[in-house]
């Protein structure tokens, strides 16, 4: 049906018992694909082909997927995290060979440990590696699994291994959203990858945030807020969009808007809220409160505070402690307006030169 006027486009009766809803799901999916003149992606086919031994396990898996997306895309509510975790575990309990349930659970944990206020990260890291290995033994040809393994290696400093796995993920399934995002975020920062991801999954608000980041890092400020608005249209108050937009607002000195957001107590990460407080203290000239326990913040958050306060020496000291081999580091140094005050400093220029050299080597190695 057309969404605008509810006019019927296509219909077809199906005479299949609910107990055999696998066949019903396949039939509907394939018929709709024919009508739309498209093909199911490899990942979509996996959901129908790599089935558990019983319907109940599949239902638990799908509930886990739903709750995970709710947790990651919308609420960041720990209850949604635990509900998703429980659904995946129930699916595995019913079918210990259900590969996608292991992949889903690993991905849930990987998302969880990325949140600054998440607890027991070391324990979850062990669980991620455990479930990834089980899934890989069951079926090594799942694109999302290879992407996840690649990101895990990247976090451990194995850039070559990570690239090989993510590249394999794209070869297995060129329509794998997570693989295209990983290529964009960690290796190539080419807009075509994030555009492709958005084409494949236009309802994922985080993809528009990443495109906003691209425009921001390339100085195309006039396009940034439009992308953030797209994310908010999908999920109002989306935390990841809110977080990245706040960095952008700080960079363009829109402090009144930051005050408005903070006053309204929108859904912020716990330690990011502390960062915003320090930003406002710095803007208002309360240096003591702005600098209190500043080393508890991430290094790039410290740079923002020091930049607002005009403390160039402290910025240089922070940058000197960041591992120069950090692959996306050069993008940050090259484009972030918060560093404009120190660009003529020879020490900063030396950091830039080293980072640029590494960046150029990586482009040759990992580029198209």
The tens digit of pLDDT for each residue in 295-305 reads 988 888 999 99
Are 80 and 22 members of one domain?
no
pLDDT band at 27 (very low <50, low <70, confident <90, very high): low
Ordered DSSP codes for 18-56? GGGHHHHHHHHHHHHHHHTT----HHHHHHHHS--SSHH
Backbone phi, psi, residue 157, to 5°: 90, 5
Question: Does 32 share its domain with 92?
Answer: no
Q: Are residues 313 and 349 in the same domain?
A: yes
The tokens describing 9, both together, are 């486009």
Q: Name the nearest CA neighbour of 213 among 249, 258, 251, 244.
A: 244
The residue-averaged pLDDT of 85-111 equals 93
pLDDT band at residue 43 under the 50/70/90 scheme: very low
Q: Looking at the domain assignment, is residue 102 inside a domain?
A: yes
pLDDT tier for residue 348 given thresholds of 50, 70 and 90: very high
How much is the average pLDDT of 337-358? 91
Do residues 9 and 59 share a domain? no
Per-residue model confidence (pLDDT) at position 211: 94
Residue 158 belongs to some domain of the structure: no
Here the tokens at position 238 are 């989306």
The chain-wide mean pLDDT, for the chain, equals 81
347 within domain boundaries: yes
> Alpha-carbon distance 268 to 354, whole Å?
35
**Token digits of residue 266:** 């929108």
Q: How confident is the model at residue 78 (pLDDT cuts 50, 70, 90)?
A: confident
CA distance 231 to 317: 35
* pTM assigned to the model: 0.75
CA-nearest of 72, 353, 25 to 207 is: 72
**C-beta neighbour count of 129 within 10 angstroms:** 15
Single out the residue of 54, 142, 63, 55 nearest to residue 103, CA to CA: 142
Same domain, 48 and 25: no
Contact status, residue 158 vs residue 132, Cβ threshold 8 Å: no
Residue 8: band (very low, low, confident or very high) from pLDDT cuts 50, 70, 90: low
What residue numbers bound the domain in which 97 lies?
40-120
CA angle 47, 231, 149 (to 5 degrees): 45
Highest-confidence segment of 21-30, 49-58, 93-102, 121-130: 93-102
Assess whether 83 and 96 both reside in one domain: yes
pLDDT over threshold 60, residue 208: yes
Please report whether residue 361 resides in a domain: yes
**Of the ranges 98-102, 167-171, 280-284, 325-329, which one carries the lowest mean pLDDT score?**
325-329
Among 72, 99, 120, the domain-final residue is: 120
Q: Do the Cβ atoms of 191 and 60 come closer than 8 Å? A: no
Q: Which residues contact 135 (CB under 8 A, 6 or more apart)?
A: 99, 102, 103, 106, 142, 145
Region 44-69: mean pLDDT is 75
Q: Which residues contact 306 (CB under 8 A, 6 or more apart)?
A: 312, 314, 315, 318
pLDDT of residue 29: 47
* pLDDT band per the 50, 70, 90 thresholds, residue 109: very high
Domain boundary among 86, 120, 154: 120
Q: Among 108-112, 237-241, 286-290, name the most confident range.
A: 286-290
Q: Among the three residues 120, 141, 173, which one is the final residue of a domain in this structure?
A: 120
| Phi, psi for 235 (deg, rounded to 5) | -135, 95
Query: Do 19 and 46 have their domain in common?
Result: no
133 domain-assigned: no
Place of tokens 């947790």: 71
Between 258 and 18, whose confidence is greater?
A: 258
Q: How many domains does the chain have?
A: 3
Look up tokens 């194995």; give the residue: 158
pLDDT value for 184: 84
C-alpha distances (whole Å) from 347 to each of 23, 166, 308, 343 are 65, 35, 20, 9
């Amino acid at each position: 049906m057309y969404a605008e006027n509810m006019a019927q486009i296509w219909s077809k009766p199906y005479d299949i018992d609910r107990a055999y809803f696998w066949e019903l799901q396949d039939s509907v999916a394939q018929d709709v694909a024919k009508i739309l003149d498209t093909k199911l992606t490899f990942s979509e086919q996996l959901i129908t082909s790599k089935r558990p031994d019983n319907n109940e396990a599949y239902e638990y898996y799908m509930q886990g997927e739903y709750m995970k997306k709710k947790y990651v895309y919308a609420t960041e509510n720990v209850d949604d995290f635990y509900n998703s975790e429980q659904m995946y575990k129930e699916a595995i309990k019913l079918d210990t060979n259900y590969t996608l349930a292991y992949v889903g659970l690993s991905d849930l944990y990987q998302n969880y440990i990325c949140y600054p206020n998440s607890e027991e990260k070391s324990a979850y890291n062990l669980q991620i590696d455990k479930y990834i290995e089980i899934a890989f033994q069951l079926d090594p040809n799942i694109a999302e699994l290879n992407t996840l393994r690649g990101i895990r290696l990247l976090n451990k400093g194995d850039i070559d291994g990570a690239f090989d796995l993510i590249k394999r993920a794209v070869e297995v399934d060129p329509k794998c959203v997570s693989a295209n995002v990983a290529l964009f975020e960690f290796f190539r920062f080419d807009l075509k990858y994030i555009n492709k991801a958005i084409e494949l999954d236009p309802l994922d608000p985080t993809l528009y945030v990443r495109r906003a980041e691209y425009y921001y890092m390339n100085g195309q400020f006039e396009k940034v807020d439009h992308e953030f608005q797209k994310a908010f249209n999908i999920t109002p108050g989306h935390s990841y969009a809110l977080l990245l937009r706040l960095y952008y607002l700080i960079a363009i000195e829109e402090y009144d808007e930051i005050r408005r957001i903070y006053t309204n107590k929108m859904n912020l990460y716990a330690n990011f809220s502390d960062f915003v407080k320090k930003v406002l203290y710095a803007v208002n000239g309360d240096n003591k409160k702005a600098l209190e326990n500043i080393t508890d913040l991430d290094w790039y958050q410290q740079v923002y505070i020091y930049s607002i306060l005009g403390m160039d020496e402290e910025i240089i000291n922070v940058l000197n402690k960041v591992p120069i081999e950090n692959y996306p580091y050069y993008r940050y140094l090259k484009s972030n307006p918060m560093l404009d005050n120190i660009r003529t400093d020879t020490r900063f220029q030396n950091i830039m030169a080293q980072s640029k050299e590494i960046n150029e080597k990586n482009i040759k190695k990992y580029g198209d």
